[in-house]
Structure 1
């Protein structure tokens, strides 16, 4: 299936699932599994997005990173040059809302594109090869193509597919590890 069609279907499915108790249950397990993950524990600088709507809430993740004395970095997208960079997050006052209703850094804090770990968002993930379906801008794939930072994605049962149900393009970058609610 082409990405655009599958993305629309997947967003609807995730939106419906995000309103259920099962979703919150799975998220709680995902947080537990992430926080006990060796890559997460060893990292002193972690990049993560500021979640919205139907996504797995990243606020508990950001809070945990800060509580552990680690540095949090959030992506900032420059639409004019189609690039993404990570800027240190210290306070919600340093964020601005984009035209896509997403909060991102204003870009006034420390920039670091070589963080110890990147938590990569996605709409769907293939268990067979760890490919992800993103939101359609290609920003993460372009960034990850040049990055040496390890990657993790977080996935509920509704994010996971045995094999990709969408087209995989030559520029798509697979994720090193997918953390689910069922891992131990």
Structure 2
């Protein structure tokens, strides 16, 4: 199965899972685990994506980060041939809009950009437990960003439907593994 076929299969699988109480319970466990983590405790500037319904819910995480006085930066895909992205300052007062991908992004073109983040919470469709590889959404935005900013710590919140023991898809030389994987079962780190 190629990557695009697996992406479609995962989106369908995650869409079905999103309608279950099990997903809500797993999202709650993942939220508690990251909020209790040393990784978050030692980070001030946090990059995150506003989640789609089939992804691990980040809305409560963002609210709790604000409550803790953390600096939150929302990912924004740039409309350019390089498929670059930036992280834009995000507070409860920030106006947002939906991107062409349906993801909420900061609307203000003059908002502060910070790409030198302490921690990035990386989204994806599938993650491997053995090598921490990630199957993203196909645009390459995160892999390009992480290649340019290797100093940032990376973490993924992974529910039971996103876990793969090993990659069933082809790993490209440009694919950047995630440093820390948090699942509802355990924390796995390199």
Structure 1 length as normaliser, TM-score? 0.96
| Residue 113 (structure 2) pairs with residue 111 (structure 1) | yes
Q: Tell me the equivalent position of 2:169.
A: 166
Cα 1:29–1:50 change in 2 (3 A) is same
**C-alpha RMSD of the superposition:** 1.2
SS at match of 1:151: strand
Rounded to whole Å, the distance in 2 between the matches of 1:63 and 1:2 is: 37
| Residue 97 (structure 2) pairs with residue 102 (structure 1) | no
Rounded to whole Å, the distance in 2 between the matches of 1:12 and 1:92 is: 34
8 Å CA contact 2:123–2:157 kept in 1: the answer is: yes
Cα displacement (A) at 1:6: 0.5
Unaligned runs of 5+ in 1: none
Cα displacement (A) at 1:92: 5.7
User: For each residue in 1:134-175, what CA deviation from the matched residue of structure 2 results, as whole angstroms up to 9, or x when unmatched?
Assistant: 011000000001111000001011100100111111110000
| Residue 123 (structure 2) pairs with residue 121 (structure 1) | yes
Q: Which portions of structure 1, spanning 4 or more consecutive aligned residues, are displaced by more than 6 angstroms?
A: none
Cα displacement (A) at 1:94: 2.2
Q: Tell me the equivalent position of 1:131.
A: 133
Count of aligned residue pairs for this structure pair: 184
Unaligned runs of 5+ in 2: none
User: For each residue in 1:104-157, what CA deviation from the matched residue of structure 2 results, as whole angstroms up to 9, or x when unmatched?
Assistant: 112421110011100000000010100000011000000001111000001011
> 1:12-161 alignment to 2 at 5 Å?
12-81=12-81, 82-91=83-92, 93-106=94-107, 107-147=109-149, 148-161=151-164
Cα displacement (A) at 1:93: 4.4
Rounded to whole Å, the distance in 2 between the matches of 1:52 and 1:163 is: 25
Q: Tell me the equivalent position of 1:3.
A: 3
